[in-house]
Structure 1
Amino acid sequence: MATEDDGDRYRAPALDKGLDILELLAGTADGLSQAEIAKALDRTPNEIYRMLDRLVRRDYVRRTPEDRYEITLKLFELGHARPPTHRLISQAMPVMRRFALQAEQACHLVVQDRNILVVIAQVDGPGYWNVSIRVGSRISLINTGSGHVFLAYASAEERALMLEERRLGSVETMPRGLEARLEGVREQGYENMPSAQTAGVQNLSAPIFGPLGGVIAVLTCPYSQRLDKLDVPHVPQTLSLLLQSSREISQRSTLSA
């Protein structure tokens, strides 16, 4: 039977130090200075300087213009091929492929981590052209359909944290009229808005609910009207297909929990 001494036999102090820093920063909303990290871990600033430098160089931690340190999404991105993200992608992909075929439009799946949205899956439409976004892309909360859905279903406290612009050390304020728009998203259960990035594209976004009732992802279709075909689904039909797909993915997520 292992004893406490057995557990300490293979200690790796440098690794422990790095993990302590990551765990500390993961639980901090505003980032910490080198001195604050050292104090929290009961170490001297010089003792952790080299470890912080390596974590920054390997992109696990970023240093802000205010000389504070904050954790990045690299660990999240490394884990995105593992459950539960891998399970969510596996559940969603067949539904997304069916939607893309029926709607003849591309679609993508977005998850949220603090104030950053990340595209974790994407499916092209069946034609030779698409309006699509690369997997791994980071997108805005404020001016995207996916962001509006996440904000709409968040509590007031969660929304304040989501809007916090950690990279600049300031708070990203909501544009005038956005609160009313988010209320509309909550009432109707989806977002339907012109793209703020691409002319002629209509962002259709619907929430994916987890087993506890919260929004765990958003399914978005960057809808663009075909000029060469008249028999393809228009916005109302595409939105209906998108909502059916989001409900099916939500159901699969709940049943597999």
Structure 2
Amino acid sequence: MASPNGSLTPNPASPAARPRLDPKEAKSSVQSLAKGLRVLEAFSRDADEMTLSEIAAASGLDAGTTFRMLNTLVSAGYVARIPESRRFRLTLKVLDLGFNAIAHQDLRAIARPLLQALVDEVSEAASFGVLEGGDVLYIERVRAGFTRLGVDIRIGTTIPAAVTSIGRAILAFLPEHRLERVLATPPRHPMPAPKVPDRATLEPALAAIRRDGHVVERSAITPDLRLLAVPVIGPDGWATGAISVVAPATQFSDDDLKSRALAPMLATANHIARAQEAVGSTSAIAP
């Protein structure tokens, strides 16, 4: 916000005008991240280009901290230096954060009732996941009644895509250049076990999934569970996500689980794909 003399002063809604974290909360927070977000929030429609000193004033940070935050954000691609000036501006990459959140909310709204109907039919827990970088991001999950399985997969959980059945169901139906990009992206949270398979090991598995249209196997993370996963195929023929059903391995063989759940899962995946297309939901897989 501009003062009468034309200088920038903190907006009442800006980070600088907000109370600092309670000391107890501060112990469990990352202050440098909070400061970086305050720098991003300093930009507005009326101040879309600013100098370092203007950003420092608007964010309520000192010049040295602001300088370090800006350098980090420039390196990460969220802020750009304006050539032949001392000013900075946000890049369009910032929009990706909002668009991804909106897209994921849309996907959850689409998937939730369809997964619930699937669980009601097969009486086993079901999940819907999409790709995010090199990981599967679990967008929605519906449990079967009060049954708890020996795996802690929650909404928002990320697991390296090549490790999971739901991830491989997606990978099998990607164009080659996208598959290469996903496999080259380091996982957000590397896992000590199971290890991510190399391409020579992974390719026969993906070829089998392409042939069969599904994958059924014991969980690589929790071996006493059996998983059946099918891709959600968009109008271009490529996967936009995948759904999975999980059941105790001691109670179901591969054939038992397919006999019980494959047909309704394929129908659910088709319904999700058609709903995505109807509402124009953003694909989780970048072009």
TM-score (norm 2): 0.58
CA distance in 2, matches of 1:206, 1:143: 15
Residue equivalent to 2:50:
13
Match among 149, 159, 164 for residue 184 of structure 2: 164
Cα shift at 1:125: 0.7
Residues 52, 166 of structure 1: CA spacing in aligned structure 2 closer, same or farther, 3 A cutoff? farther
Residue equivalent to 2:35:
none
**8 A Cα contact 1:132 1:222, kept in partner:** no
**8 A Cα contact 2:160 2:187, kept in partner:** no
Aligned-partner residue type, residue 238 of structure 2 = G
**8 A Cα contact 1:108 1:133, kept in partner:** no
**8 A Cα contact 2:162 2:197, kept in partner:** no
Of 113-122 and 158-167, the range deviating more from structure 2: 158-167
Match among 229, 248, 251 for residue 205 of structure 1: 229
CA distance in 1, matches of 2:95, 2:124: 32
Unaligned runs of at least 5 residues, structure 2? 1-43, 56-64, 80-93, 189-195, 281-287
In the TM superposition, 1:126-165 aligns within 5 A as: 126-130=145-149, 133-165=153-185
Identity of aligned pairs, percent? 19
Aligned-partner residue type, residue 131 of structure 2 = Q
Cα shift at 1:98: 0.9
Is the partner of 2:116 in helix, strand or coil? helix
Match among 74, 90, 104 for residue 85 of structure 1: 104
Is the partner of 2:272 in helix, strand or coil? helix
Cα shift at 1:254: 2.2
Cα shift at 1:127: 4.0
Cα shift at 1:111: 0.9
**8 A Cα contact 2:172 2:210, kept in partner:** yes
Unaligned runs of at least 5 residues, structure 1? 1-6, 19-45, 62-73
TM-score (norm 1): 0.64
Is the partner of 1:208 in helix, strand or coil? strand
In the TM superposition, 1:5-84 aligns within 5 A as: 10-13=47-50, 49-53=68-72, 79-82=99-102, 84=103
CA distance in 2, matches of 1:77, 1:239: 35
C-alpha offsets along residues 134-171 of structure 1, whole Å, 9 cap, x if unaligned? Answer: 01101112221112112211222221111114469xxx
Residue equivalent to 1:245:
268
Is the partner of 1:161 in helix, strand or coil? helix
Aligned-partner residue type, residue 255 of structure 1 = A
Residues 55, 197 of structure 1: CA spacing in aligned structure 2 closer, same or farther, 3 A cutoff? farther
Cα shift at 1:14: 6.0
Aligned-partner residue type, residue 202 of structure 1 = R
CA distance in 2, matches of 1:241, 1:105: 12
Is the partner of 2:106 in helix, strand or coil? helix
Residue equivalent to 1:185:
209
Cα shift at 1:197: 0.5
Cα shift at 1:243: 1.5
**8 A Cα contact 1:145 1:205, kept in partner:** yes
- Give the length in aligned residue pairs: 201
